[in-house]
């Protein structure tokens, strides 16, 4: 497939690792592990995609349908995610929780679209895991009707290659969307998101932790757009960069004209473990209404010396103190996951990463 | 209540530009349009040496291959660079030594510009006043420089840049284009090719400049783009405070202003650069008004050097301006204090860059954006820490104040850190003038406009208090005038 990639001259892609993405497209096929390793012990639908193809034998989709989906987006990567994908449609007041989806890549590129449409007061939760290698390109479109609630937890644990995710959501009146991402693998990544709060009193949250080491580059470029009254949103991102890696967080809150009483919160923090690592932050606000509360905070640095000193004075060796504080730093973002077993699994992934990076 | 106030706001927006006057003085024009001929004309007009002409021509050829930047959050109508004059010189008397000799009409214009009272007192012969040296740029040519003698006694060189090119070619050549390279950006390159005049300041080693230096820019001829070039070099241990203030007459045609300001601070030197900018912002429909596309950058080259930018931006239809500091010196310090006010249909995209290359370098950014009417006000900034820069500290605060429902306030900060010992903090808030604040101020006897002025001045005080005294007064007045009636 011929794909025209954006370039780093484009302002929105200036920190993107497009070289790794290009290289991942042509990686040779390699063995992939067992899909079962990536499922948590939860009762719910399970879907396995191998190199973008649905693996019916190892799946139990239940209400989730696998079908052809068009890629209706102008996003330069998301527009290529057309073909067979998965979709969930829930009618009013229905619930479907703990949907688990494993994306396994053996190399090369794969493109999978998805749609999630929740009726009034419907509830759903989805856990996605990306493992293996190659370039996984995904487009997820979400529509939440009045009062619907969706919790998404996505972990990127590919050992190599690149994962690019594009999320587009419309959040209706008093509906709530929470999407939390953990990048704890060896791949490059780009998490793109555009959440639009279209109904009064809607809530949108997108956040997570990106952990990078080696020559790795991971980034997010997400925006929440408030187009209705009384909306609130939260963007809480943490980046930890070691070795010569780079982690970039770009988050934007947009408040449209007339979207009064919006409360948008942004917190971007970066932690550098080595002097060769890079953290880039871009906490952006675009505000067209006067009666709003939008605060953002951004910090970059190393671990707090006072906290380090305190822990060491209580008898903890330096390495343990460092690990403890780093874990707490990352946990800020992961703690936003509502479901206990999912949160525990994500924290375990983060800890495994930290144990190696801090060793 | 709301409706009345909106009507008030509308009435204020309709108010004519208070300082929109224009005076007729014979001008010597370069042929209209932009070509190598224009560049040669300007250079010949200024009796420039060969190297300067070559430099200009190189820039012009480069500029032709470049494209105007489009990343700013601005809606810039296409500019026809061929439909403007690039050089206009008032037919001044020869050999002007002091302001007394200046064309009375020019003096009258200065008076309307409100050259500080100190200056007028000095002109009138009052002794013992604090001195401010004024290098007045009247449509592209520096027609008078006062206090030259006293400055010379201190060893300070304060000249128009064209004089400096003739008199101190080595000094100018050493630093011109070193802070803002020729190929830096579209507008800077254009300036390199056609800059008309500007200011050159050199403070020798260990000298504290005995007075504050100031320049008044003023765009006067119709369809004349102004391309100022300022170069300030503070040698080891030197100190200088420089004020730049601007007002411009009312015009229908859009006027382009693409200045370049370069500052160099060597070891232990300090430069304080203050700007009050009040160019014509266009009428109530956004027609006319100045395009202000300025490149300002400081090189803190020496150990412990310091550069402080303070700006109060109330004018111009479109502002594209990012006064920056390249902090190369160990323990060097960069500061940026800004108040940007937009009203009517104004658009401002302004901010700063702090590039930390030196160990222990520190920077402070305080930006206050105030939007009213149907305007857009954007803060765009970059804080970058190089891998070798240990112990860098930065603190950034961006506050926005929105007056009314039709305006926009945006914040686009970039933070790029490559050294773990850096401590970077960024905070931003967005607010409006609350009803409680207005109620309190008004029940104490203030009318709505004074109340707004009071609250806005309080919002911007961290920046205003960085300004030298005479500028602070002017700036407070400007804020009040710019926002009259815009709150409901």
| Interatomic CA distance for residues A204 and A192, integer angstroms | 15
Q: At what angle do helices B36-45 and B186-194 cross, to 10 degrees?
A: 50
CB contact under 8 A, B412 and A282: yes
CA distances from B465 to B4, B244, B312, B478 (A): 34, 16, 11, 15
| Interatomic CA distance for residues A105 and A133, integer angstroms | 5
pLDDT attached to residue A176 = 97
Calculate mean pLDDT across residues B112-126: 46
Select from A280, A301, A306, A326 the residue whose CB has the most chain B CBs within 10 Å, as the one to mutate to test that interface: A301
Q: pLDDT grade, residue B269 (50/70/90)?
A: very high
Mean pLDDT of chain A: 93
User: At A173, phi and psi to the nearest 5?
Assistant: -55, 125
Query: Nearest-5° angle of CA A35, CA A335, CA A62?
Result: 35
Quick one: which H or E segment has residue A15? none
pLDDT attached to residue A31 = 78
Q: DSSP letter at A60?
A: B
Query: Nearest-5° angle of CA B460, CA B367, CA A294?
Result: 95
Helix (H) and strand (E) counts in chain A: 4, 17
CB contact under 8 A, B407 and A273: no
The number of beta carbons lying within 10 Å of the beta carbon of residue A311 is: 18
Residue A234: strand pairing partners: A205, A265
Which positions in chain B have a beta carbon within 8 angstroms of at least one beta carbon in chain A? 71, 387, 400, 402-430, 432
Percent of all residues in chain B with a pLDDT value above 90, rounded to a whole number: 39
Q: Measure CB to CB from residue B420 to each of A258, A297, A301 and give the nearest one.
A: A301
| Angstroms from A276 CA to nearest CA on chain B | 6
Least confident of B220-224, B259-263, B373-377: B220-224
pLDDT attached to residue A316 = 94
Over residues B7-33, the pLDDT tens digits come to 444 444 444 555 555 555 555 666 777
Find chain B residues with C-beta within 8 A of A283's C-beta. 411, 413, 426, 428
Q: pLDDT grade, residue B215 (50/70/90)?
A: low
Residue B136 in this model has a pLDDT that exceeds 60? no
Q: Measure CB to CB from residue A286 to each of B71, B410, B424 and give the nearest one.
A: B410
pLDDT attached to residue B142 = 47
Q: pLDDT grade, residue B316 (50/70/90)?
A: confident
Over residues B62-111, the pLDDT tens digits come to 999 998 888 888 888 888 888 777 776 654 434 444 555 555 655 554 55
Q: Shortest CA distance to B377 belongs to which of B424, B318, B334? A: B318
Q: Shortest CA distance to B49 belongs to which of B190, B130, B162? A: B162
Q: What is the DSSP string of A258-317?
A: T-TT-EEEEEEEEEESSTT-EEEEEEEEEE--SS-EEEEEEEEES--HHHHHHHHHTT--
CA distances from B418 to A327, B176, B274, B414, B425 (A): 21, 30, 31, 13, 15
pLDDT attached to residue A78 = 93
Please say whether the beta carbons of B444 and B429 come within 8 A.
Answer: no
CB contact under 8 A, B415 and A280: yes
Quick one: which H or E segment has residue A318? helix A318-334
| Angstroms from B439 CA to nearest CA on chain A | 17
Select from B381, B397, B411 the residue whose CB has the most chain A CBs within 10 Å, as the one to mutate to test that interface: B411
pLDDT attached to residue B30 = 67
Find chain A residues with C-beta within 8 A of B413's C-beta. 281-284, 298
CB contact under 8 A, B415 and A282: yes
Q: Measure CB to CB from residue A273 to each of B402, B416, B420 and give the nearest one.
A: B420
Q: pLDDT grade, residue B474 (50/70/90)?
A: confident
Calculate mean pLDDT across residues B406-429: 91
| Angstroms from A227 CA to nearest CA on chain B | 14
Q: pLDDT grade, residue B221 (50/70/90)?
A: very low
Residue B141 in this model has a pLDDT that exceeds 90? no
Q: Does A304 touch chain B (CB under 8 A)?
A: no
Q: Shortest CA distance to B86 belongs to which of B139, B34, B155? A: B34
Residue B181 in this model has a pLDDT that exceeds 70? yes
Q: Which of residues 37-56 of A touch B (CB under 8 A)?
A: none
Calculate mean pLDDT across residues B273-280: 84
| Interatomic CA distance for residues B393 and B380, integer angstroms | 19
Q: Does A3 touch chain B (CB under 8 A)?
A: no
Percent of all residues in chain B with a pLDDT value above 70, rounded to a whole number: 76
Residue B216 in this model has a pLDDT that exceeds 90? no
Judge if ipTM > 0.90.
no
pLDDT attached to residue B34 = 85
pLDDT attached to residue B132 = 56
pLDDT attached to residue B199 = 86
Q: pLDDT grade, residue B484 (50/70/90)?
A: low
User: Residue B361 has which token pair?
Assistant: 């370098």
Sequence-distant (6+) residues with CB within 8 A of B181 are none
Chain A residue whose CA is closest to B382: A282
Question: Chain A to chain B, count of Cβ pairs less than 8 Å apart?
Answer: 115
- Show the 3-state SS of chain B: CHHHHHHHHHHHHHCCCCCCCCCCCCEEECCCCCCHHHHHHHHHHCCCCHHHHHHHHHHHHHHHCCCCCCCCCCCCCCCCCCCCECCEEECCCCCCCCHHHCCHHHHHHHHHHCCCHHHHHHHHCCCCCCCEEEEEEECCEEEEECCHHHHHHHCCEEEEHHHHHHHCHHHHHHHCCCCCCCCCCHHHHHHHHHCCEEEEEEECCCCECCCEEEEEEECCCCCECECEEEEEEECCCCEEEEEEEEECCCCCCCEEECCEEEEEECCCCEEEEEEEEECCCCCCCCCCCEEEEEEEEEEECCCCCEEEEEEEECCCCEEEECCEEEECCCCCEEEEEEEEEECCCCEEEECCEEEECCCCCEEEEEEEEEECCCCEEEEEEEEEECCCCCCCEEEEEEEEEECCCCCEEEEEEEEEECCCCCEEEEEEEEEECCHHHHHHHHHCCCCHHHHHHHHHHHHCHHHHCCCCHHHHHHHHHHHHHHHCCCCC
Residue B305 in this model has a pLDDT that exceeds 60? yes
Least confident of A162-166, A351-355, B473-477: B473-477
Q: pLDDT grade, residue B483 (50/70/90)?
A: confident
Sequence-distant (6+) residues with CB within 8 A of A69 are A82, A83, A84, A85, A87, A113, A114, A115
| Interatomic CA distance for residues B449 and B76, integer angstroms | 32
Tokens 């901010």 label which residue?
B351
Q: Shortest CA distance to B144 belongs to which of B117, B163, B166, B121? A: B163
| Interatomic CA distance for residues A236 and A233, integer angstroms | 10
Least confident of A32-41, A273-282, B168-177, B442-451: A32-41
| Interatomic CA distance for residues A15 and B1, integer angstroms | 49
User: Residue B470 has which token pair?
Assistant: 């005479």
CB contact under 8 A, A272 and B402: no
What sign does the CA torsion over B154, B158, B163, B167 have?
A: positive
Mean pLDDT of chain B: 80
Please say whether the beta carbons of B231 and B172 come within 8 A.
Answer: yes
pLDDT attached to residue B129 = 43
Q: Shortest CA distance to B60 belongs to which of B90, B32, B40, B74? A: B40
Radius of gyration of chain B (CA): 22
Q: Shortest CA distance to B339 belongs to which of B480, B142, B133? A: B480
Over residues A244-295, the pLDDT tens digits come to 999 999 999 999 999 999 999 999 999 998 888 999 999 999 999 988 888 8
């Amino acid at each position: 497939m011929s794909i025209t990639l954006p370039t780093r001259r484009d302002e929105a892609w200036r920190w993107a690792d497009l070289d790794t993405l290009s290289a991942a497209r042509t990686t040779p096929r390699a063995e992939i592990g067992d899909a079962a390793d990536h499922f948590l012990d939860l009762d719910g639908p399970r879907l396995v995609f191998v190199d973008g193809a649905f693996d019916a034998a190892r799946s139990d989709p239940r209400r989730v349908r696998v079908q052809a989906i068009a890629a209706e987006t102008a996003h330069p990567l998301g527009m290529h995610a057309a073909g067979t994908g998965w979709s969930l449609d829930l009618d009013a007041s229905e619930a479907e929780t703990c949907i688990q989806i494993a994306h396994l890549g053996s190399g090369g590129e794969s493109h999978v679209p998805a749609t999630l449409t929740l009726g009034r007061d419907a509830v759903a939760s989805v856990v996605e895991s990306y493992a293996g290698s190659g370039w996984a390109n995904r487009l997820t479109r979400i529509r939440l009707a009045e009062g619907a609630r969706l919790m998404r937890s996505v972990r990127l644990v590919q050992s190599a290659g690149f994962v690019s995710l594009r999320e587009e959501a419309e959040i209706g009146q008093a509906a709530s969307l929470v999407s939390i991402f953990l990048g704890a693998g060896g791949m490059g990544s780009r998490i793109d998101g555009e959440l639009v709060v279209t109904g009064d009193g809607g809530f949108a949250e997108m956040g997570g932790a990106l952990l990078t080491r080696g020559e790795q580059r991971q980034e997010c470029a997400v925006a929440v757009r408030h187009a209705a009254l009384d909306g609130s949103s939260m963007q809480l991102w943490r980046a930890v960069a070691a070795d010569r890696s780079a982690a970039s967080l770009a988050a934007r809150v947009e408040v449209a004209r007339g979207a009064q009483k919006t409360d948008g919160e942004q917190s971007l923090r970066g932690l550098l473990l080595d002097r060769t690592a890079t953290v880039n932050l871009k906490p952006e606000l675009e505000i067209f209404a006067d009666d709003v509360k939008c605060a953002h905070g951004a910090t970059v640095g190393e671990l707090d010396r006072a906290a380090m000193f305190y822990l060491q004075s209580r008898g903890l060796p330096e390495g343990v103190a460092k690990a403890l504080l780093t874990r707490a730093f990352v946990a800020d973002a992961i703690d936003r996951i509502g479901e206990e077993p999912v949160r525990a699994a994500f924290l375990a992934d983060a800890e495994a990463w930290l144990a190696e990076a801090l060793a | 209540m709301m409706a009345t106030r909106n009507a008030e706001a509308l009435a204020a927006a309709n108010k004519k530009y208070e300082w929109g006057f224009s005076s007729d003085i014979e001008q010597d024009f370069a042929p209209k349009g932009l070509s190598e001929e224009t560049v040669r004309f300007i250079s010949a007009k200024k009796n420039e040496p060969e190297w300067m002409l070559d430099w200009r021509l190189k820039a012009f050829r480069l500029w032709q291959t470049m494209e105007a930047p489009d990343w700013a959050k601005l809606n810039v109508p296409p500019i026809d660079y061929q439909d403007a004059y690039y050089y206009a010189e008032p037919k001044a008397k020869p050999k002007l030594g002091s302001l007394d000799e200046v064309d009375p009409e020019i003096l009258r214009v200065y008076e309307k510009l409100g050259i500080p009272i100190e200056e007028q007192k000095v002109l009138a012969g009052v002794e013992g006043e604090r001195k401010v040296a004024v290098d007045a740029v009247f449509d592209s040519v520096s027609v008078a420089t006062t206090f030259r003698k006293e400055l010379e006694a201190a060893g300070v060189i304060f000249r128009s840049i064209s004089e400096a090119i003739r008199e101190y070619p080595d000094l100018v050549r050493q630093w011109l284009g070193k802070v803002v390279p020729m190929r830096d950006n579209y507008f800077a390159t254009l300036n390199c090719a056609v800059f008309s005049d500007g200011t050159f300041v050199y403070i020798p080693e260990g000298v504290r400049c005995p007075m504050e230096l100031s320049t008044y820019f003023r765009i006067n001829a119709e369809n004349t783009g102004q391309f100022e070039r300022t170069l300030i070099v503070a040698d080891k241990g030197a100190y200088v405070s420089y004020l730049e203030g601007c007002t411009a007459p009312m015009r229908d045609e859009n006027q382009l202003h693409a200045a370049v300001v370069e500052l160099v601070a060597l070891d232990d030197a300090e430069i304080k650069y203050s700007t009050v900018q009040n160019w014509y912002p266009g009428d109530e429909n956004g027609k006319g008004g100045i395009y202000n596309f300025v490149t300002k950058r400081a090189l803190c080259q020496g150990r412990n050097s310091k550069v402080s930018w303070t700006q109060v931006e109330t004018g111009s239809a479109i502002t594209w301006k990012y006064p920056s500091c390249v902090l190369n010196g160990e323990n060097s310090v960069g500061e940026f204090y800004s108040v940007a006010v937009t009203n009517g249909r104004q658009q401002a995209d302004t901010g700063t860059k702090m590039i930390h290359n030196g160990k222990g370098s520190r920077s402070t950014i305080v930006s206050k954006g105030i939007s009213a009417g149907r305007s857009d006000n954007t803060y765009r900034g970059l804080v970058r820490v190089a891998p070798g820069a240990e112990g860098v500290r930065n603190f950034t605060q961006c506050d926005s104040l929105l007056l009314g429902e039709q305006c926009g306030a945006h914040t686009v900060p970039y933070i790029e850190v490559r050294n773990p010992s850096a401590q970077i903090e960024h905070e931003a808030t967005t607010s409006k003038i609350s009803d409680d604040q207005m109620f309190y101020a008004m029940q104490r006897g203030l009318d709505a406009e004074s109340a707004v002025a009071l609250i806005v001045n309080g919002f911007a005080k961290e920046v205003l208090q960085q300004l030298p005294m005479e500028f602070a007064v002017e700036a407070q007045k400007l804020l009040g005038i710019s926002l009259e009636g815009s709150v409901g």
